[in-house]
Structure 1
Amino acid sequence: MTKEGKPIKVGVDIGGTFTDVAMEVGEALHSTKVLTDYSFPEAAIVKGIRQVAESAGVELSEIDTVIHGTTLATNALIERRGAKTAFITTQGFRDVIEMRTESRFEQYDLNITLPAPLVPRNERFVLNERIAADGSVLQPLDLAEVDELCDRIISAGYDSVAVGFIHSYINADHEKQVRDRLLAKKPDLSVSISAEVSPQMREFQRFNTVCANAFVKPIIASYLNRLVGRLETEGLTCPVFMIHSGGGIISVQTAIEYPVRLLESGPAGGAIFAAHVATRYGIDQVLSYDMGGTTAKICLIEGQVPKTSKTFEVARTYRFKKGSGMPISIPVIEMVEIGAGGGSIASVDAMRQIRVGPHSAGSEPGPACYGRGGEHPTVTDADLLLGRLDPNEFAGGSFKLITEASASAMQRDLCDRLDIDGPTAAFGISEMVDENMSNAARMHAVENGKELADFTMIAFGGAAPLHASRLCEKLGIDELLIPPGAGVGSAIGFLRAPFGFESVRSAYTKFSSFEAEQINKIIRELVNEATSFVHQLTDVQPEVECTAFMRYVGQGWEVPVTVDVREYSQADGEVLKKAFDAAYENFFGRIIDGLDVEIVSWSLRASSTMLPPPPTTVTAKNKAAEVQSERRMFDSQDGVFHQASIVARSSMQPGDWVAGPAVITERETSTIITASREVIMQADGCLLVRAKKA
């Protein structure tokens, strides 16, 4: 805290290419981007915090809070760089994580490629035990058999163990016994049990989730312990918190125990950032678009609340294909993520077509123009050759981009193979990556029954403002907002997140045999569990929100229904049934008469209260912005180079406007205004980009 009593908060987001740091000193924002250090990620964090502290004129010891999100857990799963992990399950269910659900996500592909199981068959072990679907014990544990298996696993030198038994979500006793006996024999062993990591039905998803948790737990624990120790050495004695995939803040200790909850932590911060902007403007339908150096993320935000889910997939083997990835059943802000970032590598396929991603040059070596050893053309190289980037002002001028290196890589990998010139190849890369992202957005919208022409786009991340105007053209979206600090949007989103935790549990009940006390017991347990995590961080009584996942008997999947957190009576069964009818009709247009309804699972979110941001209104254009200079820039819709106006964002006042083609420059990113658009500076610092009016 400063001498004037202003709180100092720092948000840190580690991405595949850049580590973003945002510091708030009272209402003042300071930010920077530094290249991610793959070997020691904490080194980039310390470097970035030092830079923003220096620019803010504060000492590291004055910082009150550090909130951190990271893609390290996700990358470890995608690249299969985790601990040596054993999986213990019920006899007869050893191959569940390999058999999957037996659904074919690509029905006519005779050479379909399924993700390999995270734990190979020779490292999966079974015990002769069985819990029934109602929680009763059909086959007790043989403790002698348990001890013998524990000795085998320990002698084999496993670093981590996942335990997942059939129906343990309703009765966790057997899983807990196995964990206790493992830890009694080796106290420093990392053990994860599915009843705590993901107490939900559907064994394939639950088993896969606990295996993922165990797989990344030792490396995340090592990293977070190193990070906290390094920050203390640097003089930061403040608490360090983590952002989880559902968009809440948890302690480092909770993150170490449940690292699988960190899988979408960075993108979750971005969605919170976009929702905060949407709340300021009172916009109910928003498409959040986050593009960094490695990936692009798209999220639907309705009523200023990001869409959420209780499952998602990582490491899909087929782009856009549900079911082709590794399922993780944890609460998450739902979004589409594709391998399309500034560092995504372009290549030519067997049909002589340009392809972009999913492989990325990252920060080591980085795009060819970085001059750090990258040999292949990337999206950033294409943007440089198309005039969208200034080689002397990239990242605030912290390092120079080498145009000749981009041109050389483009000539070698694309031009020579396709017999085209450099600008055409760069245009092909740009158009391909933009089409990949627009296709992902269209598919996500269709799956949710939405028409994107009615939405406003909010774009952030280092590369998104470069491509957002073109995406709006492709998607038919009229208005786009680029918030202040967009280049480090996810890190700023961390500073807007509440302390929060979401507890989930499968607990089956039919409305035809409704028992109010069973419902009340479940809700009480969920409230106690979720609020206990929040109370570890703050004394404030959190707000709670409960969702019941219901379906007609015989259906395979559920509809989320928001329910009140209160004591229910027997008469309230009809109240819950009407809530389901309303939700089902909203999704599918009509209800089905005469069918019984069942509740399958529950989710309860506890979070600290966040004050809403002050509202703002759209500022109309007033006077032309001050143009610093001009440069040639390619416009994808026209297919030709134009003279584009160059305007410094810092020089623009509310109401200042400029017509495209133009580039609005700032330290962490640049906003491209295409020839069909114009931009107006808003009172809160946002750039409003909209289609030119006839």
Structure 2
Amino acid sequence: MHSNSNSGNGIRVGVDVGGTNTDVILVAGDDEYIFKTPSTDDPSVSTVTGITEVCKIADIEPSEVDQILHGTTVATNALIENEGAKTGLLTTKGFRDVLHIGRHRKPHSFSLQQTIPWQENPIVKRRHRKEVTERIHPPGEVITPLDEDEVLQATEELVNDGIESIAVCYLHSYLNRDHENRTKELILEHYPDIHVSTSSDVVAQFREFERFTTTAINARLEPVMSTYLNRLQERLAEEGFDAEVLIMQSNGGMASVQNVAEKPVTTLVSGPAAGVLSAEFEGNNVGQPNLIMLDMGGTSADISVIPGRVLERDPRDSTVGGYPTISPMLDIATIGAGGGSIAWFDGAMGFNVGPKSAGANPGPACYARGNDQPTTTDAQVVLGRIDPQTFLGGNLDLDPSLSRDALQTQLCDRAEQARFETPERAALATLEVANTNMYRAIREQTVQRGYDPREYTIVAFGGAGPMHAASIADELEVGTVLIPPSPGIASARGLLTGNVKYDYQQTVSSPLDEVDGNYIDEAFDELVARGRAQLERDEIDESQWTFRQSVDCLYEGQGYELNVDFDGTDGDWHARVRERFEEKHETEYGHYFEKDPVELLNLRVTAVGDIQSYVPATLDEGDEDPSAAQTTEATVYFGTSDAPAEMTVSRFDREQLKVGNVISGPAIVDEFDSTVVVHPGWTATVLANGSIELQKGD
């Protein structure tokens, strides 16, 4: 697919691998091209296939591509599916069971029947955790020297037991990394093929359990990610590509292949992070700072709240697959609600949608690939909202009769479970349950955290998002929904809006009033120097570098900290830091303590290399009349499962719409990679950048 939409420099490709489809966008000068292909078990296959095919569509030789930006789920899938390398741990004597004990908290405080992920499926089994004689005092002083013989003996035992990767986590190593560095040297001297992750390299900050867990996850994923990236680059080279490859990280920034291979833990929400960037980019284009991202693909729905363009969450709140990490990541929640989510009855005759998904293969029943279970996509087909003739540009033959049969057979005909009189009622019920699941997830991320969703705009994308957004907005009392151009590949487009970004941190853990400014300056200089060195390795022009300095503070005796900007040690900097901390504390908790002592816990530096050159689309001007884009009329069902409403609606071709066109609901807007459903009582307006703004009527 082709559209006049961009004027960036060079030829860049964004490729996002999802659970169902791999989405690709190529930008060359003023033009952009998109392509979708089913995701494969080996993601490098669909990734390279997608890039190769989009180049053919654009009539561009592989050697002409300058940059490939990649969002990946390799690390996420390996962690959630309990896969990855066989991992060992070396730790300070007496701290072998930190990974098991955790914080002695259960995920659900009052549940008697639950699994505790770090105990049920430990990242490192107990027999593979070895203790080493060494000890560093909290200020960073060596109390007990490192016993190098014990290091080698423990490593030998692990290697003999088939360990492929080792995490090294010593007490207080965030203040003195000498013992961990020496341990890594010893291991690699004797076992050069073993992967080694030290906590002082992965996450040099306070909190043993989270630091140990994050480092162990990194060690477990490092061989998997290294193998994948090597395979990806080999496949690209075989096809004639010689482009720079950058990987999206969880923090919303790109990183070099080498950096990600060494720190795969930074990519645990790589794919969804690109979606957040896309939503923020869309909001910036239309002047909307408060956004709710709804990225609904084939397998899951990713939800992110962006209050006032603030993207990053506190890293201590990060949990992936039930495992806590302290790796910086964007604020994203994921639920099992996608176009392939299956509708089913449980043993108590409760009606459910998801989390199990039909994925891309076999896919929804209408794909005619052997699945007879109804999905949300089948529900949309039965309701007349998806047009088989325009779905994926007509490149995939849908069989609506199979959707109807699946709903009839699985949800209507079973005597003991029969609840729906017709497939249309069953289809509406399927969408109601799926929408309620997403509504609840958004409420959890907004209302339960002090944000009023009525003050926000929903940015809906993914192949399924634009079909569900208005219904969810109705429940949340949100009056505006934005649908980006080509919403099915919005996350891939988000990759083009990102910059290179690296995070560095150092624990200080000292009363704020007692911290010496010279010490702070030296510590920040060291962190900045690490960022400069990395950006130099990435060959980014120095004029494009920026560094953000910040500090983590908390009141004495508090368990958790807040992050505030830091602008240097000139003047009364202690007072400035305290003032900013108190302002943020009041914002977060509604109060602050004027006389309580404040502690300075961590120093942070974010190094950014500006590589973003993407320019949003511009469409031809038109008037309010959209009739030139109307293609046909169709029968579509709205209403509820209790009261279905059959309506005759107009269908429009999104590529033919012009700026200023206004469509009154009910209506359907078809495009290559998605379908926009304009519900009764809503209007759709085409904006200058090609986005569609859905607004609820009075």
Question: Which letter maps to 2:498?
Answer: A
Residue number in structure 2 paired with 1:660? 665
Offset of 1:653 from its aligned partner?
1.0
Question: Which letter maps to 1:51?
Answer: E
Residue number in structure 2 paired with 1:319? none
Matches within 5 A, 1:252-651: 252-316=257-321, 325-415=322-412, 416=414, 417-419=416-418, 420=420, 421-537=422-538, 538-541=540-543, 542-564=545-567, 566=568, 568-569=569-570, 571-609=572-610, 610=612, 622-625=624-627, 626-636=629-639, 639-651=644-656
- Give the match's secondary structure for 2:52: helix
Kindly indicate whether the alpha-carbon contact (under 8 Å) linking 1:470 and 1:636 is maintained by their aligned counterparts in 2. no
Counterparts of 2:253 and 2:664, CA distance in 1? 39
Offset of 1:376 from its aligned partner?
2.6
Counterparts of 2:15 and 2:638, CA distance in 1? 34
- Give the match's secondary structure for 1:119: coil
Counterparts of 2:580 and 2:310, CA distance in 1? 20
Kindly indicate whether the alpha-carbon contact (under 8 Å) linking 2:496 and 2:613 is maintained by their aligned counterparts in 1. no
Counterparts of 1:135 and 1:639, CA distance in 2? 69
Residue number in structure 2 paired with 1:321? none
Counterparts of 1:90 and 1:427, CA distance in 2? 58
Offset of 1:102 from its aligned partner?
1.3
Residue number in structure 2 paired with 1:68? 70
Offset of 1:447 from its aligned partner?
4.0
Kindly indicate whether the alpha-carbon contact (under 8 Å) linking 1:22 and 1:52 is maintained by their aligned counterparts in 2. yes
Counterparts of 1:681 and 1:274, CA distance in 2? 17
Counterparts of 1:326 and 1:644, CA distance in 2? 48
Matches within 5 A, 1:671-690: 671-690=676-695
Offset of 1:639 from its aligned partner?
3.7
1:88 to 79, 87, 90: 90
Residue number in structure 2 paired with 1:243? 248
2:155 to 116, 139, 150: 150
Kindly indicate whether the alpha-carbon contact (under 8 Å) linking 2:106 and 2:116 is maintained by their aligned counterparts in 1. no
Kindly indicate whether the alpha-carbon contact (under 8 Å) linking 1:634 and 1:641 is maintained by their aligned counterparts in 2. yes
CA RMSD of aligned residues (A): 2.3
Offset of 1:382 from its aligned partner?
2.0
Kindly indicate whether the alpha-carbon contact (under 8 Å) linking 1:482 and 1:686 is maintained by their aligned counterparts in 2. yes
Offset of 1:107 from its aligned partner?
2.6
- Give the match's secondary structure for 1:232: helix
Offset of 1:5 from its aligned partner?
10
Residue number in structure 2 paired with 1:26? 29
Counterparts of 2:583 and 2:618, CA distance in 1? 33
Counterparts of 1:349 and 1:603, CA distance in 2? 48
Residue number in structure 2 paired with 1:220? 225
Kindly indicate whether the alpha-carbon contact (under 8 Å) linking 1:61 and 1:236 is maintained by their aligned counterparts in 2. yes
2:14 to 11, 23, 30: 11
- Which stretch has the larger CA shift, 403-412 or 353-362? 403-412
Offset of 1:665 from its aligned partner?
0.8
Counterparts of 2:318 and 2:397, CA distance in 1? 37
Where does structure 1 lack aligned partners over 5 or more consecutive residues? 317-324
Cα deviation, 1:189-217, whole Å, max 9, x if unaligned, reads: 11111111111211111111111111111
Where does structure 2 lack aligned partners over 5 or more consecutive residues? 1-6
Question: Which letter maps to 2:356?
Answer: H
Kindly indicate whether the alpha-carbon contact (under 8 Å) linking 1:673 and 1:689 is maintained by their aligned counterparts in 2. yes
Question: Which letter maps to 1:87?
Answer: L
- Which stretch has the larger CA shift, 516-525 or 475-484? 516-525
Question: Which letter maps to 1:505?
Answer: Q
Counterparts of 2:409 and 2:178, CA distance in 1? 61
Cα deviation, 1:458-483, whole Å, max 9, x if unaligned, reads: 11111111111111111111111111
Residue number in structure 2 paired with 1:79? 81
Residues 624 and 105 of structure 1: CA distance in aligned 2, closer, same or farther (over 3 Å): same
Question: Which letter maps to 2:563?
Answer: P
Residues 578 and 186 of structure 1: CA distance in aligned 2, closer, same or farther (over 3 Å): same
Question: Which letter maps to 2:496?
Answer: L
Cα deviation, 1:503-546, whole Å, max 9, x if unaligned, reads: 12322121231311222122112211223222222123411112
TM-score w.r.t. length of structure 1? 0.93
- Give the match's secondary structure for 2:547: strand
Residues 348 and 237 of structure 1: CA distance in aligned 2, closer, same or farther (over 3 Å): same
Question: Which letter maps to 1:55?
Answer: I
Kindly indicate whether the alpha-carbon contact (under 8 Å) linking 2:379 and 2:427 is maintained by their aligned counterparts in 1. yes
Offset of 1:156 from its aligned partner?
1.5
Residues 586 and 226 of structure 1: CA distance in aligned 2, closer, same or farther (over 3 Å): same
- Give the match's secondary structure for 2:401: helix
Report whether the alignment pairs 1:174 with 2:179. Answer: yes
Question: Which letter maps to 1:15?
Answer: G
Kindly indicate whether the alpha-carbon contact (under 8 Å) linking 1:515 and 1:570 is maintained by their aligned counterparts in 2. no
Counterparts of 2:287 and 2:617, CA distance in 1? 7
Counterparts of 1:229 and 1:689, CA distance in 2? 44
Cα deviation, 1:398-426, whole Å, max 9, x if unaligned, reads: 21123233333334443325212322222
Offset of 1:677 from its aligned partner?
0.9
Counterparts of 1:125 and 1:478, CA distance in 2? 57
Counterparts of 2:639 and 2:141, CA distance in 1? 64
Counterparts of 2:645 and 2:189, CA distance in 1? 70
- Give the match's secondary structure for 1:381: helix
TM-score w.r.t. length of structure 2? 0.93
Residues 242 and 136 of structure 1: CA distance in aligned 2, closer, same or farther (over 3 Å): same
Offset of 1:549 from its aligned partner?
1.4
- Which stretch has the larger CA shift, 11-20 or 146-155? 146-155
Kindly indicate whether the alpha-carbon contact (under 8 Å) linking 2:107 and 2:116 is maintained by their aligned counterparts in 1. no
Question: Which letter maps to 1:101?
Answer: R
Counterparts of 1:633 and 1:556, CA distance in 2? 54
Residues 414 and 181 of structure 1: CA distance in aligned 2, closer, same or farther (over 3 Å): farther
Offset of 1:25 from its aligned partner?
0.8
The number of aligned residues is 679
Residues 614 and 10 of structure 1: CA distance in aligned 2, closer, same or farther (over 3 Å): closer
- Give the match's secondary structure for 1:680: strand
Kindly indicate whether the alpha-carbon contact (under 8 Å) linking 1:294 and 1:344 is maintained by their aligned counterparts in 2. yes
Question: Which letter maps to 2:33?
Answer: H
- Give the match's secondary structure for 1:623: coil
Kindly indicate whether the alpha-carbon contact (under 8 Å) linking 1:300 and 1:307 is maintained by their aligned counterparts in 2. no
Kindly indicate whether the alpha-carbon contact (under 8 Å) linking 1:280 and 1:615 is maintained by their aligned counterparts in 2. no
Residues 44 and 453 of structure 1: CA distance in aligned 2, closer, same or farther (over 3 Å): same
Matches within 5 A, 1:106-125: 106-115=108-117, 116=120, 117-125=122-130
Kindly indicate whether the alpha-carbon contact (under 8 Å) linking 1:552 and 1:598 is maintained by their aligned counterparts in 2. yes
Offset of 1:104 from its aligned partner?
3.3
Kindly indicate whether the alpha-carbon contact (under 8 Å) linking 1:312 and 1:334 is maintained by their aligned counterparts in 2. no
Counterparts of 2:686 and 2:508, CA distance in 1? 51
Counterparts of 1:245 and 1:126, CA distance in 2? 32
Q: Percent identity?
A: 34
Cα deviation, 1:364-418, whole Å, max 9, x if unaligned, reads: 3322222223343222222222222122332211211232333333344433252
- Give the match's secondary structure for 1:508: strand
Counterparts of 1:142 and 1:455, CA distance in 2? 57
